[in-house]
């Protein structure tokens, strides 16, 4: 059983999320203020967004909201690694959340994650693909890519998890401290899969809970039909890369 008043840091990587970030942060604050057992902070890792995302975060001027602004667009995996290290070393995080910055993830689920951590789980994954989980409003091509990518990852890497690429997770930092984060050099979707693979090798307690994954609230899709084949190919290449890395 985890002790009360643990330090929780919710990490949100951003790039050009000015239309979403202010409202999202206010929503997270409003949702988590009723969770009395934890000291909850939010860390925005912004890749120098040209649309003023970081300025919006700064102007909120909240004691529990922190900004880590990087000097260039370096990608999701790198953002999470920098965020993990900052949260552990500077904010004394004991539990870390991964969360998207575009309203794809419902902040009301945060308490559900924390209760499972209390129940003894080391990693809690918000799953779209277990009973009770779903995807709302997402374009067909993105569903195809996600389902196919998860299937390939589960088969090739032997991952006993239904949603390998979920970006909504809660992780005990005691687990992250056992991983050499600097050696993780995969990007995007592959980062989530590779991190899960490394954690599963530790034989820790993992729980999937159902979530609804929503289409981003603001911003338009630039989808073209050929993108299906291009993105599926990228998924396959990423998983092959992970398999090679795991062999060493």
Can you tell me whether residue 150 is helix, strand or coil?
Answer: helix
* Residues 70-83, mean pLDDT to the nearest whole number: 93
245 vs 26 pLDDT, higher one: 26
CA 188 to each of CA 91, 133, 192, 219: distance values in angstroms, whole numbers, following the listed order: 25, 22, 7, 19
Tally of domains in the chain: 1
pLDDT digits (tens, 9 = 90+) for 162-186: 999 899 999 999 999 999 888 787 7
In this predicted structure, the answer to whether residue 232 has a pLDDT above a threshold of 60 is: no
**Token pair for 201:** 């090798």
Residue 192 covered by a domain: yes
Strand order through the sheet with 169-172: 65-69, 38-46, 6-14, 95-98, 169-172, 123-127, 206-210
Give the rounded percent of residues in the chain with a pLDDT score beyond 70.
90
pLDDT digits (tens, 9 = 90+) for 31-45: 999 898 899 999 999
Report yes or no: 164 and 129 within 8 Å, Cβ to Cβ: no
CA 80 to each of CA 47, 138, 152, 205: distance values in angstroms, whole numbers, following the listed order: 11, 24, 23, 22
55 vs 156 pLDDT, higher one: 55
Residue 1 covered by a domain: no
In this predicted structure, the answer to whether residue 124 has a pLDDT above a threshold of 70 is: yes
**Token pair for 128:** 């779209």
Strands 123-127, 206-210: pairing is parallel
156 vs 186 pLDDT, higher one: 156
pTM: 0.89
Specify the pLDDT at position 248. Answer: 64
Residue 203 covered by a domain: yes
Strands 123-127, 134-136: pairing is unpaired
Specify the pLDDT at position 3. Answer: 57
Residue 153 covered by a domain: yes
Residue 85 covered by a domain: yes
**Token pair for 182:** 């600097």
**Token pair for 195:** 């991190």
Domain residues for the domain of 143 are 6-246
In this predicted structure, the answer to whether residue 225 has a pLDDT above a threshold of 50 is: no
Report yes or no: 141 and 219 within 8 Å, Cβ to Cβ: no
* Residues 230-237, mean pLDDT to the nearest whole number: 64
In this predicted structure, the answer to whether residue 140 has a pLDDT above a threshold of 50 is: yes
Residue 191 covered by a domain: yes
Residue 104 covered by a domain: yes
* Residues 5-25, mean pLDDT to the nearest whole number: 96
Beta-strand ranges (E) seen in 32-150 are 38-46, 65-69, 95-98, 123-127, 134-136
Question: What CATH number is given to the structural domain containing 146?
Answer: 3.90.550.10
């Amino acid at each position: 059983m985890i002790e009360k008043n643990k330090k929780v840091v919710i990490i949100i990587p951003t790039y050009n999320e000015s239309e979403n970030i202010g409202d999202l942060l206010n929503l997270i604050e409003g949702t988590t203020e009723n969770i009395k057992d934890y000291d909850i902070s939010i860390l925005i890792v912004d890749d120098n967004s040209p649309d003023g995302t970081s300025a919006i975060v700064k102007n909120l001027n909240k004691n529990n909201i922190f900004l880590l602004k990087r000097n260039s667009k370096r990608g999701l995996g790198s953002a999470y690694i920098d965020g993990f290290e900052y949260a552990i070393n500077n904010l004394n995080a004991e539990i870390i959340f991964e969360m998207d910055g575009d309203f794809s993830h419902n902040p009301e689920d945060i308490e559900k994650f924390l209760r499972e951590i209390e129940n003894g789980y080391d990693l809690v994954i918000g799953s779209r693909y277990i009973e009770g989980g779903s995807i709302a409003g997402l374009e067909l091509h993105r569903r195809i890519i996600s389902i196919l990518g998860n299937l390939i990852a589960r088969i090739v890497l032997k991952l006993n998890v239904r949603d390998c690429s979920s970006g909504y997770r809660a992780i005990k930092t005691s687990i992250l401290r056992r991983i050499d984060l600097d050696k993780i050099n995969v990007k995007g979707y592959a980062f989530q899969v590779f991190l899960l693979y490394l954690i599963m090798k530790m034989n820790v307690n993992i729980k999937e809970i159902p979530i609804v994954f929503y289409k981003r609230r603001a911003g338009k899709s630039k989808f073209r039909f050929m993108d299906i084949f291009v993105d599926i190919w990228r998924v396959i290449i990423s998983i092959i890369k992970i398999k090679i890395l795991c062999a060493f």
